[in-house]
Amino acid sequence: MPIPVIIDCDPGHDDVFALWLAAGHPALDLVAVTTVGGNVPLEHTTRNARIALSVAGVTGVPVAAGAARPLVRPLQTAEWIHGENGLGGPELPEPTVPLDPRSATELIADALTASAEPVAIIATGPITNVAILLRDRPELAGRIREIVWMGGSTERGNATPYAEFNALVDPEALDLVVRSGVRFTMVGLNVTHLALVTSGVREQIASLGTATADFGAELFDFFCRMNDEVFGMPDGPLHDPVAVAVLADPGCVEVRRTRLDVELLGIETAGATSVDLDGMLGREPNAWVAVGLDVDRFWAGVAASVARLA
Ligand code: BDR
Ligand code: CA
């Protein structure tokens, strides 16, 4: 039986591939998509999620807009990687997938309640919507199978020296979710920096020759150009689908049970994730953290899923 999953995202080039991996993978049943302000403001991330599904011919999955800003901090965006509209590169079509009138948290609550079995939430942006759900509807926590989040790092950051972007944008939300008691897996930069869009990967996708693959190849080109300009990484790291792979193909991502704490007070270090892999603090483990990735197996899964789409 495929695992029912909700993707909460802020597309974003790599979020689009996360949506496609979830929609095209036989091990997953994508039941809802929700959006959050992150890479670009909410209006763009919501439209981009609808475009991603429209291009791929994914119909019947509701898409609802969520939080426009983090729980307590002002929104920080990342046009410097994703472009002004969040999906720099291809010409963007009008989305045919409609916008669901419910809020993200209403849609997630409805999906959790309607499902016969617990639903997994995969978050690939600032984790504000999930925090709001757990804060306002704690009785639904037991219906969440687990939460897998792309963000953080066991090492250094990419938005500040010590903070990864999704963690930096809403660390209070992350802290709330990690403390909620729901099974939580962090998929950070230490593994997503292995998921590099090499020329071989670009060719693997482009050679599929489908509309989805063509759109994806154009996304790759812009994304890699920006990663080269900003980080000196011409093979851009495609972060977000690695979080989907944790559920779609568990053997592909190695995880460890450990202690995860979030820096909320630091002036220079806010949003840093403290991952106590060596047990120095003597605190109870409270999370799973990704520590390894089978790179070829990951890309084979992404390509096979894209191939199943339009
Ligand atoms: C994360 O930040 C965003 O720019 C990407 O979409 C990804 O979710 C990587 O730090
Ligand atoms: Ca993202």
Among the atoms of ligand 1, which is closest to the Cα of residue 10? Answer: 6
Q: List strand residue ranges (DSSP E) for the chain, in order.
A: 3-9, 28-35, 63-65, 119-123, 144-150, 184-187, 253-258, 260-262, 273-275, 287-293
Return the best residue to mutate from 21, 44, 79, 124 for the ligand 1 pocket (most ligand atoms within 8 A of CB): 124
How confident is the model over 146-163, as a mean pLDDT? Answer: 98
How confident is the model over 258-283, as a mean pLDDT? Answer: 97
- Ligand in nearest proximity to the CA of 223: 1
**pLDDT band, very low/low/confident/very high, at 211 (cuts 50, 70, 90):** very high
Per-residue pLDDT, 308: 98
Answer for the pair 66, 104: CB distance below 8 angstroms, yes or no: yes
How confident is the model over 15-40, as a mean pLDDT? Answer: 98
How confident is the model over 213-229, as a mean pLDDT? Answer: 98
pLDDT, tens digit (0-9, with 9 covering 90-100), for 172-194 = 999 999 999 999 999 999 999 99
- Cα 134 from Cα 41, distance rounded (Å): 23
**pLDDT band, very low/low/confident/very high, at 301 (cuts 50, 70, 90):** very high
The residue contributing the CA closest to ligand 1 atom 4 is 39
Return the best residue to mutate from 21, 39, 273 for the ligand 1 pocket (most ligand atoms within 8 A of CB): 39
Per-residue pLDDT, 40: 98
Burial label for 241, CB within 10 Å (0-12, 13-18, 19+), is buried
- Cα 199 from Cα 212, distance rounded (Å): 18
Distance 162 CA to ligand 1 centre (A): 15
Strands 63-65 and 28-35: parallel
Determine if the peptide bond prior to 142 is cis (ω within 30°).
no
Structural domain that includes position 176: 3-307
How confident is the model over 109-118, as a mean pLDDT? Answer: 98
273 in ligand 1 pocket by Cβ < 6 Å? Answer: no
pTM higher than 0.95: yes
Q: Is 239 one of the annotated active-site residues of the chain?
A: yes
8 in ligand 1 pocket by Cβ < 6 Å? Answer: no
**pLDDT band, very low/low/confident/very high, at 275 (cuts 50, 70, 90):** very high
78 in ligand 1 pocket by Cβ < 6 Å? Answer: yes
CATH number at residue 147: 3.90.245.10
Angstrom distances, CA of residue 271 to CA of 4, 126, 157, 169, 279:
30, 11, 9, 7, 21
Query: Domain total for the chain?
Result: 1
Per-residue pLDDT, 103: 98
How confident is the model over 135-140, as a mean pLDDT? Answer: 98
- Ligand in nearest proximity to the CA of 239: 1
The catalytic position among 13, 25, 44, 239 is 239
Percent pLDDT > 90 in the chain is 100
129 in ligand 1 pocket by Cβ < 6 Å? Answer: no
Instruction: Give the CA dihedral 295, 300, 305, 310, nearest 10 degrees.
Output: 120
Q: Rounded mean pLDDT of the chain? A: 98
The residue contributing the CA closest to ligand 1 atom 10 is 165
- Ligand in nearest proximity to the CA of 151: 1
Per-residue pLDDT, 259: 98
Write the DSSP assignment of 134-189 as a string of letters. Answer: HHH-GGGGGGEEEEEEE---SS--SSSSSB-HHHHH-HHHHHHHHTT-S-EEEE-H
How confident is the model over 298-308, as a mean pLDDT? Answer: 98
pLDDT, tens digit (0-9, with 9 covering 90-100), for 52-77 = 999 999 999 999 999 999 999 999 99
227 in ligand 1 pocket by Cβ < 6 Å? Answer: no
